[in-house]
Amino acid sequence: MSMLEVEAINSFYGDSHVLFDISLRVDEHEVVALLGRNGAGKTTTLKTIAGVLAPRSGEIRFAGTPIQGLTSHVIARRGLQLVPEERRIFITLTVEENLRLAALNAENRRPVEEVFEIFPRLRERRRATGGTLSGGEQQMLAIARALIRSPRLMLLDEPFEGLAPVIVEELVALCGRLAEAGATIVIVEQDVRAALLLARRVYVLNNGHVVFEGTREALLADPAITSRYLGLELEAGEVLEP
């Protein structure tokens, strides 16, 4: 079953045309990566799906129902959660307060303690304010705020940006466990190697156009795509590591 279907969307910032007939699909319990260089249109695609930016044309169906034109908070209440690149946690509230606030209007909220089972480090910091958390802890909190709402689909925008390699490994492992538990995820990430450890299907964007769609294996077998659009040079038989 397709959880998300995007058909020929065109999005603009003012008079600037930034997405050109973007089409993609995400099946239930699938992890899909949107890859590309800076400015390729990846974050704009997520914002358009989540209702932050309205497309001028095209259709977006979430669980079979059109959602283009709906406001972002209505889309969120239907079970689609965007974890933005900026994280946007409340720095003056504690970890636990951030989570309880996120769950206030959720129809199928998870218990806070269940979220802490997934993020034991956040349990340790539950009374710490958001502004005192490390970058990795803030990213965990941003993902946890989405999870407490029991989303049907999560959009992760650059979840590993600016983090130390050891923290990236920890977050990759965490997202991998979520995927194994049946989460449906779309990930935008500049760290191509980390993203490909999670995703089994990939879309590559360039200047607002989809230039590749296929499996992880098909992408890695196409050096013209990986080199030209991702700046990724792979040796034959190389094993990807974050």
pTM: 0.91
- Residue 161 half-sphere exposure toward CB, CA atoms < 13 A: 14
Instruction: Give all domains of the chain, ordered by start, each with its CATH number.
Output: 1-27+45-72 (3.40.50.300), 79-199 (3.40.50.300), 205-237 (no CATH)
Strand order in the sheet with 185-188: 80-83, 153-157, 185-188, 31-35, 201-206, 209-215
DSSP string, 154-203: EEEESTTTT--HHHHHHHHHHHHHHHHTT--EEEE-S-HHHHHHH-SEEE
The pLDDT profile of the chain, 242 residues, written as one tens digit per residue, is 799 999 999 999 999 999 999 999 999 999 999 999 999 999 999 999 999 999 999 999 999 999 998 999 999 999 999 999 888 999 999 999 999 999 988 888 899 999 999 999 999 999 999 999 999 999 999 999 999 999 999 999 999 988 889 889 988 998 999 998 999 999 999 999 999 999 999 999 999 999 999 999 999 999 999 999 998 775 544 545 54
Report the distance separating Cα 69 and Cα 48, nearest Å. 9
